[in-house]
Copies of this chain bind each other. A is one copy, B any other.
Amino acid sequence: MDNYVQILKKNGLKVTPQRLEILKYLDTHRTHPTADTIYSDLKKTTPSLSKTTVYNTLQHLGEHGLVYTLTISGSELRFDSVINPHHHFLCKTCGSIIDIDIECPNARKVESAGGHRIDEVHGYFKGVCASCLKE
């Protein structure tokens, strides 16, 4: 848990029990959960938790690059504390979001060619996962 304290301090964020809980949750549940899932699960052990705090915290963590905010689903945001560059696969059958451990080889090229400054790279694949294909 000291680990999470350091992460927050290093980024100039105040250390609060709620933020530690959310950081820990993301670190130990690598399922790309929604804000509501995080809220519901943490509410069991921290009944005073507010959903607004979950949203606020996720936004802060995102702004500081401590979580990755995925827009893959289109209907709700998904959160990921694994921040090394990787892609994602969304199974339209079972809804699971699977990590794809590759990095976009074109990002820097696009930046220099187009003159844009790229802060975030998102690679999304959608289809049917291997597990669902078997059935």
Contact = CB atoms under 8 A, between A and B. Distances in A.
Interface in A87-109: 87, 89, 91-92, 98, 100, 102, 104-107
Stoichiometry, copies per complex: 2
Interface string A115-128: 11111111111111
Given A71-B73, A71-B124, A133 B116 contact: yes
Contacts of A102: 106, 110
A107 to B, nearest CB: 7
A91 B116 contact: yes
B122 A110 contact: no
A47 interface: no
A5 interface: no
Contact of A98 (B69, B104, B114): B114
A8 interface: no
B121 A107 contact: no
Contacts of A124: 71, 120-124
A35 B115 CA distance: 29
A117 B89 contact: no
For the complex of A and B, 8 pairs with smallest distance between CB atoms: A115-B130, A71-B74, A122-B124, A120-B126, A119-B127, A118-B127, A117-B127, A117-B128
